[in-house]
A and B are shown apart, each in its own frame.
Chain A
Amino acid sequence: MNSAKPPAYIIENLTKVYKTRTVLDVNYLEVRAGEILAIVGPSGSGKSTLLRLLNFLEPPSSGQITYGQEVFGPERSVSLAARRSVTTVSQRPILLDRSVRANVEFGLRLRGQRDRDGQVRDALQRVGLAALEGQHARTLSGGEAQRVALARALVVHPGALLLDEPTANLDPYNVGVIEESIRALNSERGTTMVLVTHNIFQARRLADRVALILDGKIVEQAETEAFFEKPADSRSKAFIRGEMVY
């Protein structure tokens, strides 16, 4: 990792309140350029909410996110260009009611890009689905659909890719394919990634750094090695030992 580069994201005093409930409350968190940052934490702790804010899909209730030159806050939105340089593979991907090809092509069409064929093929090859280009998306298996969702996100060459449980409910084969694409993308393109996962083994396999979130608060963030070997917070220890109910 190149520590001379400025961070991709700087998150400061960020909160998200739904009705009266504060579901996210992050004092400070950086996402370094080019790293894979894993966010782990129990169900309902605010992981998906954090990703929605990092993708500028909802405004925060207070605080701010600095992304490159731009600042995102309760009353400040970011440019379309900034928004288009971030994309999410969601926890429950929903593909368009079209062919696999049309799904992968979608982000390129939105950006008015021509000559999409090669890029679509490359993206599908990365997830090992080149053969399914012509199939209708709604007929895919769960694992295939998840991989198409990854392909349609990476085809736009995002600067930051947000992955929300990209392998939840998948068999080991599909988990392997997806993890391999994530790793390759990160090393070849230097894509910054935030990976939300329940699976601490996956965090350990893929991430440069790990952050633990509990009740909307980041209780520990550290290099992966240190996070697992020498957790500073007792709650991190409990989480790693699997004592936390989720």
Chain B
Amino acid sequence: MLDLLKSALGNSDLAEIVWLSLRVSGIALVFATVVGIPIGSALGLGRFVGRRLLVALMYTGMGFPPVVIGLFVYLLLSRSGPLGGLNSPLVPNLFTPGAMVLAQSIIAFPLVAGFTMAAVMGVDAGLRQQVRSLGATDWQTTVTVLLEAKVGVIVAVIAGFGGIISEVGAVMLVGGNIEGRTRVLTTAIVLETRQGNFEMALALGAILLAITFVVNVLMLRLQGKAFTE
């Protein structure tokens, strides 16, 4: 198994698979974070009509089966679908990494937004008022609350990453698991298992675990300060 891992690591096909996994999930996570943290903060801190409905939708999204999101994205992007028919350069084609990024962004977004919302709601409303009293604008208040909720916000990002790096259904549907183009770790594991290459599948699984572990350790280092003091 170790030998296999070694030969696998020297294998350029494998390097490509790992790199694509990281790229697709990484870019999707960036999108989900850039959109999810502001929306999560607004839902957690704001008071506006329809907030409760949005919160309920967000919670639903957090538990939504990724494969169903994959199906929606598939239908959206297919040639006869509403987006696929546009032929716009902004819309990715099916069976490309772009389509995988889109699906994974949608999967990660409610996780990031939902956990961010919970984190900022956990910050004492009295603190928010005192921050305002010290002269903070709305924007400064939100940033301060996010920093106070830092531990929870980082958990939100970790949850988003965990939800997509290990996800197989949606990337399989919209990516198609095409060798050399859209094959990622999870879809490669499925394929190798099906072909009876259990050792290879296990080695890929170990790599996936290692990546998740390393990424989480890095994120925890960001949280670090909050724990040491």
Q: Which residues of A contact B (CB under 8 A)?
A: 52, 55, 57, 80, 83-84, 86-88, 90, 92-94, 96-97, 106-107, 110-111, 136, 138-139, 152-153, 156
A212 to chain B, nearest CB (A): 25
- Asked whether A90 lies within 8 Å of B135 as measured between CB atoms, the reply is no
Number of B residues contacting the other chain (C-beta, 8 Å)? Answer: 18
A-B contact pairs, 8 of them (CB 8 A): A52-B129, A57-B132, A80-B135, A86-B133, A90-B129, A94-B127, A110-B136, A111-B135
- Asked whether A156 lies within 8 Å of B130 as measured between CB atoms, the reply is no
Closest 9 CB pairs of A and B: A84-B135, A94-B127, A107-B134, A88-B133, A136-B229, A110-B135, A110-B136, A55-B133, A94-B126
A residues in contact with B133, CB < 8 Å: 55, 57, 86-88, 90
A5 to chain B, nearest CB (A): 24
Question: Assuming A90-B130, A94-B127, A96-B131, what are 8 further A-B pairs, CB within 8 angstroms?
Answer: A57-B129, A84-B135, A88-B130, A90-B126, A90-B133, A110-B134, A110-B135, A110-B140
Q: Which residues of B contact A (CB under 8 A)?
A: 124, 126-127, 129-137, 140, 144, 147-148, 226, 229
B residues in contact with A92, CB < 8 Å: 126
Interface of A is mostly: mixed
A57 to B125, CA, bound (A): 13
Interface of B is mostly: helix
A residues in contact with B140, CB < 8 Å: 110
- Asked whether A94 lies within 8 Å of B135 as measured between CB atoms, the reply is no
A residues in contact with B126, CB < 8 Å: 90, 92, 94
A111 to B134, CA, bound (A): 10
The residue of chain B having its C-beta at the shortest distance from the C-beta of A152 within the complex is: B134
- Asked whether A96 lies within 8 Å of B135 as measured between CB atoms, the reply is no
A residues in contact with B130, CB < 8 Å: 88, 90, 93-94
A75 to B132, CA, bound (A): 19
- Asked whether A156 lies within 8 Å of B226 as measured between CB atoms, the reply is no
A107 to B141, CA, bound (A): 12
A residues in contact with B127, CB < 8 Å: 94, 96
- Known contacts: A92-B126, A94-B127. The answer to whether A107 contacts B144 by CB under 8 A is no
The residue of chain A having its C-beta at the shortest distance from the C-beta of B148 within the complex is: A97
The residue of chain B having its C-beta at the shortest distance from the C-beta of A51 within the complex is: B133
A73 to B46, CA, bound (A): 22
B71 to chain A, nearest CB (A): 43
B54 to chain A, nearest CB (A): 24
The residue of chain B having its C-beta at the shortest distance from the C-beta of A92 within the complex is: B126
